[in-house]
Structure 1
Amino acid sequence: MSYLEKLFAAVDDYFIEKLVEKDPIFDQILANNQKHQLPPHDVSPSQGKFLYLLARIKGAKRILEIGTLGGYSTLWFAKALDKEGQVISLEFDKKHAEVASENLALAGVSAKTTILIGPASDSLKSMVKDQTPPFDLIFIDADKENNSVYLDYALQLARSGTIIIGDNVVRDGAVIDQNSIDSRVLGVRSFVDDLSTSSKLTSTAIETVGVKGYDGFTISIVE
């Protein structure tokens, strides 16, 4: 780890210590994810708190999460909702969904969370077909190759004022590599192109450094 990487992580740890409330359930979730050998792709505590604050600022009642993993970010969203709120999370991997369900039950938020198992594009297509009520906030954090597909469906499940967040868009700076052959980078670049040309969205990006390395979010609002 380079000097800057150590510095970024140390500063992130400082803000986490000062600004992210201690809640043992988040540590339990990460430990449970590790026990079940889930990949360590969860958002960091400070990023989770950021998502929580966005949901609170928005006054979100309905949240759609594309990509559940072990439910770490799902819990942050659930904590931002009142008892009538709902998070619907889409997860391709059955094992990941089972671990996430266990984690969310331990956290006591099962009543506010629903996990749909299977390809996200299939779940999204069904939701559009069934005229699912629009969401207040949509978090796209699944396979980057399909980000543009997810954005298209997200717009169909949104309304004016809906916030759409795309995760992992910087990828250690690889997003600016026009010659990349990495399908994840290509997916993110296509996604950003879609954001830039959409007449329905106003967007920006926030770069992040810290315990999760160099990455970032896009944040958009539906006009």
Structure 2
Amino acid sequence: MSQQQWTAVDDYFTGALIGADPVLAAAQEAADKAGLPQIAVSPPQGKLLQLLARTVGARRILEVGTLAGYSAIWMARALPDDGTLISLEIDPVHADVARANLRDAGLAGIAEVRLGRAADTLRELAEAGTDPFDLVFIDADKPGNPVYFGWALELTRPGSLIVVDNVVRGGAVADLASTDPAVIGVHRLHEAIAAEPRVSATSVQTVGSKGYDGFTLIRVNR
């Protein structure tokens, strides 16, 4: 099996089940033009996030790590007209591109990008007593994952879902002696999940146009 074949399979499923989407294509083009890293979720992964949001009947979605707003567009499209998506981004250039993409997608009325350190913004949301989120998607710096998970747990409700992306790290997660800060962050995340009685979780390996990686799916049970 090769990266070429994984990408071809993703392309097949995208064509068969998703199809062309000029809005999402334009968002990717804007990201590329701005020189943003090409690390957004793939179309099948974006559709998965959208289906998860619809499955839980999400009215409020929180995203940690905006990039160009590609995944935010997928998820915001699952919301009702009075729904809310808040996406957190530390890079002002990324935030500007994402805001423009969300505006061009017709989602500016329900999707908001907040600029700043995610740990600070998450604390501010909690201290403000914001309404709980139904879905949280964590796709930011991996060393911060344990902190983001902790705040996500405080900002959700029973039945909410928390999804954490890029947890397999090309298989490096299996190296318990790794000194890679990203892998260490993933290890600490899973240690925190395992020690938390209020949740139930699993992690799934994936291959596709984004290579060999995976995600962790966490249900809040309390």
Same fold (TM over 0.5): yes
SS in 1 for 2:158: coil
Name the CA distance, whole Å, in 2 between partners of 1:70 and 1:80: 18
Gaps of at least 5 residues in structure 2 are: none
RMSD: 0.8
Partner of 1:180: 178
Deviations 1:69-95 (A, max 9, x none): 000000001111111111000000011
SS in 2 for 1:161: strand
Letter in 2 for 1:133: D
The answer to whether 1:61 aligns with 2:63 is no
Partner of 2:5: 7
Q: 1:215 aligns with which of 210, 213, 216?
A: 213
SS in 2 for 1:162: strand
Shift of 1:22: 2.0
Partner of 1:122: 120
SS in 2 for 1:32: helix
Name the CA distance, whole Å, in 2 between partners of 1:19 and 1:185: 33
Name the CA distance, whole Å, in 1 between partners of 2:128 and 2:9: 46
Structure 2 counterparts to residues 46-57 of structure 1, below 5 A = 46-57=44-55
Shift of 1:197: 1.8
State the number of aligned residues: 221
The list of structure 1 runs, each at least 4 consecutive aligned residues, that deviate by more than 3 angstroms after superposition, is none
Partner of 2:188: 190
Partner of 1:81: 79
Structure 2 counterparts to residues 66-215 of structure 1, below 5 A = 66-215=64-213
Deviations 1:37-94 (A, max 9, x none): 0011100000000000000111100000000000000000111111111100000001
User: In percent, how many aligned pairs have the same letter?
Assistant: 47
Gaps of at least 5 residues in structure 1 are: none
Shift of 1:165: 0.4
Q: TM-score under structure 1 normalisation?
A: 0.97
Name the CA distance, whole Å, in 2 between partners of 1:199 and 1:22: 42
SS in 2 for 1:38: coil
SS in 1 for 2:109: helix
Shift of 1:20: 1.1
